[in-house]
Structure 1
Amino acid sequence: MMVLKRFLILLLFFCLSHGLIAQSKFADSEQLLNAHFEDLKMASNDSLKSNISQNIMRDLRKSLEKKGSFTYSYNEIVNLGKVTSSDEQLRIFSWNYTLENGAYRYFALLQKRDGRKIALIELHQNLELEVNMETKLSANQWLGALYYQIVPFTHNKRNLYLLLGWDGNKDRTNKKVIEIIGFSKTGEPELGLPVINWRGKRLSRVIFEYSKQVQMKLKYHERENCVVFDHLSPSESRYINQFEYYGPDFSYDALEFKNGIWHLVEEFDVKNLN
């Protein structure tokens, strides 16, 4: 009995020591990355910001390549967006900075489980790509956003993810984004798969643009398995399609998931939401 007790004490001590060493390993990465983000906030021009962001990408990649990184929180890095899917198969890290022309530059690293392995994938923003809600894009054609929710779902026996994100866009408007991401048999990300049924069209993504003076709600509700969002309207009819005048009109729409497709429901009743 005494031998068993000593063994358990030694095992507990080993586990605690191992955990503290692992935590220290990632804490060093957090400290370095926080220093980079402080430099990014202080940077005075686009070239300097780009160089610092490349340093962030390099050092974040090094940290995410370490064993145990998928389950480490990285909560000490306050300027880094971090979101994990509920099935714990996909994790996205994202950050941005403002360009001198008022636009936003985005960066993202994905961790994707592949059996026992963790694939690490960069998304590269294409600033010259025309925004289109009906096109499939590659990792090198990413539109850019800070993602805050990931919703796993299945379409035709294929595992896909619905992403909800925010984009600072430009001087007078912000954007909210509903994006779809899947992965090919070779593990390559595919952005924008046509699984959104929207007013007679099959969309690959949805992009909302609205005034910087207001806030737009866009949230997934797990119990109802739907994405609910503010309906946007111009402040006056003469401002149709001038999105700096768009904002919530106190009604709501939703995307409801049925049979592998996200269906638009207009004038959605939000009374019974969780």
Structure 2
Amino acid sequence: MNSIQTSPLSEIMLEKDGKIRTKSSRAGDYVVVAICVFLILIYLAPFVNIISRSLSSPNALVNNRVSFWPVDFTLDSYVYVFIPAASKVPEAAVRYINWLAKPEVYRFLQFGEEGKNHKIVNGLPATIPADGPTIQNSVNNIDYTISMNGIWLGDEETTAKAIANGYTCDPEYIVQAIRCSLNDAEAGLVVPVTLSVAGPYTEDLKAKGEEGTCNAVRAPEGQFDAIWDAFIAEWRASGADEIIAERAAKYVDPF
């Protein structure tokens, strides 16, 4: 005869849906839920880290201080870079910008190879003249490092000292000059003026300007001055003089 195993009444629970469950089966449910929550957290961790990094300062990123919470909160990452809607490969553009934002990448682009593009002075790179394959197309390759629009070594003070290392004078003079340039700046004054005569001439003058510039650049040796002067005379006679006169008449000295 087969025996029937039963559970004590103390281990039996009646669920809301009418099903009878034992305490051991409920414990198994808790274990499954805990495992699921753990796996969800593991999957979410990289995304949380990415978001935290995007909301942290460059200094915090360079020094690896960011994990799952923003450090030195900033929205700068969402201000400067955008991909035009006309881009045919927006994903590739984003990947390129992300690559440029890596410290090891932009530092190499900015300072190049030690001994060829820079030397170390007081623990910081100092730019030195270079030629041949290692020459930089612009100072510190700022044309390439678009993500920071200049040199960046993690914080303003360190960056200023590195820039100062590239000068032959006392580096402290350069550091002080940089500090002054970053404080109490005033935007250039703009006085809006509507020019009534500009409308009819704008496109024609623009076309003449482009054509005249191209002709001057391609001028044969010894003929540049003559070609340039003829271009300017024709350009002014085509409406530019009227615009200049109206602009001068409407100018108001703001001071």
Fold similarity call, TM over 0.5: no
Specify which structure has the higher proportion of helix: 2
TM-score by length of 1: 0.22
Higher strand share: 1
Per the normalisation by structure 2, the TM-score is 0.23
